[in-house]
Amino acid sequence: MLALDVLETLELLGSGQWGLVTTAQASEVGVSKMRLSRLADRGTLQRVRHGVYSLPSADTGPLQGLRAAWLSAGGRSAADQPLTVVSGESAAAVHGLGDLLPAKYEFSSAVRRQTTQPDTRYRKRDLSDGDVVWVEGLPVTSVARTVEDLAAGGTDFDHLAAVVRDAFTKGTAADRLAQALEPSADRFGSPDGDALLVALLETAGYRPDARVLELVAPDLQEKLLQAVTPRLDDVVSRAVAEQLREVRREAARYQLATQKHLTPDVDRRQSKEADDG
C-alpha cells in the first residue's frame, strides 16, 4: 500500500474519533505497527500514548489525552454501547465543573479491567442509562452522578463546592444535586443533602439571581438566601437580596390568583407597593 493510500485509509478510520487511531484498529485495515511507527518517525503521525496515534487532521485540545486513553481502553462494545465510561475527576473536566486537576484518567466499566498504564484507573460497576451521557463523542457520567461520585470519593469540601456551583449554574436542578449529595451528607457534617448543597454553594461564593432562583426547589430558596445574605457586605447587594425575595412573593401571589381563576389586582398591588415605599 502506497504511503498516500495508507494515510487516506487512516484518515477515514479516524474521521469519527477525533482524528485518532489505535494500532489494533490500523491492523484491521491492513496497516501494520511498523508502518505506523515509520509514519510517526517522519512526523506524519504523532504518538499520543502507547498504541494510539493522531492524524494530521486530529482535533487537538485539552481532551485529546483523555480521548486517546478511552480509545486505548477499547472504546465501544460490540453492541455499540460504551464499554468504558469517563468518570470521577475526568468526568468533571469534560463537563467543565470546578478546578480539579485529574492525576489519572478515570473510567468505569461493567467488567473488571486491568492496565499497565500508570495514568489510567478503572472502576468496576454497573451504571444505569440515566447515569451516562455523551459529550463530544465521549460516554461520560452525568453531571449529577459525577457530583455524587466526587462527594463519596474523597474530594475535599472546597473543591467539591466549586464543582457543585458550576453544576448548578449550568442548569442541573437543585433537587437532583441535593439527592446526589445525600449519601455523603454525614461525611461533611450536614444533616441532609439539601443542607449540604446550600453550604457548598455558600462556600463557593454563589450569588443567585432571580432567573436562577426560580429554578430552585421552593424549600431551598429561603435557605439559600439566608446563607448568602450575611456575605453581602454592601447596601446595594442587600437590596438585591430583598428584591429576590419580592420576586418570590409576587410569583406566589400570581400563582394563587391563577389557581382561583382570578386576575391579580394590579392597581391594588401598585398602591400597596407605593405605601410600602
Rounded to an integer, what distance in angstroms lies between the CA atom of residue 219 and that of residue 257?
21
| Cα 187 from Cα 161, distance rounded (Å) | 14
Q: CA 49, CA 173: separation in Å to the nearest integer?
A: 38
Residue 70 pLDDT exceeds 90: yes
Pairing relation of β-strands 105-109 and 120-124?
parallel
Question: For residues 108 and 149, is the Cβ–Cβ distance under 8 A?
Answer: no
24-59: pLDDT as tens digits: 999 999 999 999 999 999 999 999 999 999 999 898
For the stretch 109-123, pLDDT in tens is 888 888 888 999 999
The domain ranges of the chain are 3-60, 65-206
239 confidence band (pLDDT: 50, 70, 90): low
- Give the per-residue pLDDT at 110: 86
What is the CB-side half-sphere exposure of residue 151 using CA atoms within 13 A?
Answer: 28
| The dihedral sign for the CA sequence 36, 40, 46, 47 | positive
pLDDT at 229 (0 to 100) = 57
Q: Residue 73 pLDDT > 90, yes or no?
A: no
> Which grid coordinates are listed for 270?
401598585
Please name the CATH architecture into which domain 3-60 falls.
Orthogonal Bundle (1.10)
pLDDT at 236: 46
Cell output for 126: 454497573
The pLDDT, as a whole number, for residue 263 is: 43
pLDDT value, residue 59: 82
Q: Is the model more confident about 80 or about 134?
A: 134
Q: What are the pLDDT digits (tens) for 74-132? A: 766 545 555 789 999 999 999 999 999 999 999 998 888 888 889 999 999 989 999 99
Report the pLDDT averaged over residues 258-267.
46
Q: Is the pTM of this model over 0.75?
A: no
Per-residue pLDDT of 199-214, as tens digits, reads: 999 999 887 655 555 5
